[in-house]
Amino acid sequence: MNDTRRILLIEGHPDPGAERLNHALVEAYAAGAAAAGHEVRRIAVGTLDFPVLRTAEAWHHGALPPGLQVAQDGMAWAEHVVIFFPLWLGDMPALLKAFLEQVARPGFAVGPEGPKPFGRKPLSGRSARVVVTMGMPALAYRWYFRAHSVKALERNILGFVGFAPIHETLIGSVDGLGTAGVGRWRKKMHTLGEQAA
Ligand SMILES: Cc1cc2nc3c(=O)[nH]c(=O)nc-3n(C[C@H](O)[C@H](O)[C@H](O)COP(=O)(O)O)c2cc1C
């Protein structure tokens, strides 16, 4: 039996620089996945050139910006999608939201126009993980802020278009991690990559 999976890694940080924690986490996950024989594709949102979606008309009928075809192709190809991003003002960075608005077009991520435009879930059959880094302790985000923005992504976006199951990793107090702390999270990402989880 072949238990390798096709994994798409989306680095949602607007700054794809190597010094960013998010970049290190993506690298570690990708290395673990590759070591276990999984197929991996990567998209760094911060390196893509695309405009912000401005009208419903463009969403329904406009052409996908050419720079984002790779993202739709990657999602169609993948069995498991992992989205990494830093918490910015309590939510995903605006560039990642702009990316998702552009990519999740009718006919691709939601049903085409018609009496029940949201009746079908075209991306069903794929699992997902959301990895979020933040300055505050992860427990504060989870219990005081109720993890509202991560829940919105998981339920209103990923779940809405068919992803299931969806898991999450919240990495808090990032400023105090130090080399050892970063190393522990890299190891954890490597293991998740091996498991394609
Ligand atoms: C514009 C901006 C907004 C931020 N907003 C928050 C926030 O609302 N809550 C929080 O806990 N951390 C916040 N942070 C801290 C980032 O989440 C943290 O620096 C990031 O997760 C570290 O990962 P990186 O090295 O990949 O950038 C913010 C940082 C920036 C630059």
- List, for residues 38-60, the tens digit of each pLDDT value: 999 999 999 999 999 999 999 99
- Which residues form ligand 1's pocket by a CB distance below 6 Å? 13, 20-22, 86-90, 133-136, 174
Q: pLDDT tens-digit profile of 108-146?
A: 998 775 445 556 688 999 999 999 999 999 999 999 999
Give domain status of residue 155, yes or no.
yes
DSSP state of 150: H
Structure tokens at 67: 């720079």
Identify whether the C-beta of residue 101 lies closer than 8 Å to the C-beta of residue 53. Answer: yes
Give domain status of residue 150, yes or no.
yes
The protein residue whose alpha carbon is closest to atom 15 in ligand 1 is 135
> DSSP 3-state assignment of 83?
strand
CATH number, domain with residue 50? 3.40.50.360
Give domain status of residue 115, yes or no.
yes
For 27, the domain range is 6-195
Structure tokens at 159: 């779940």
Report how far ligand 1's centroid is from the alpha carbon of 58 (Å).
31
Give domain status of residue 1, yes or no.
no
CA dist., res. 106 & res. 95, Å (int): 20
Q: Say how many domains are in the chain.
A: 1
Residues whose CB is less than 8 angstroms from the CB of residue 177 and which lie 6 or more positions away in sequence, other chains included:
21, 185
pLDDT at position 34 over 90: yes
Identify whether the C-beta of residue 189 lies closer than 8 Å to the C-beta of residue 29. Answer: yes
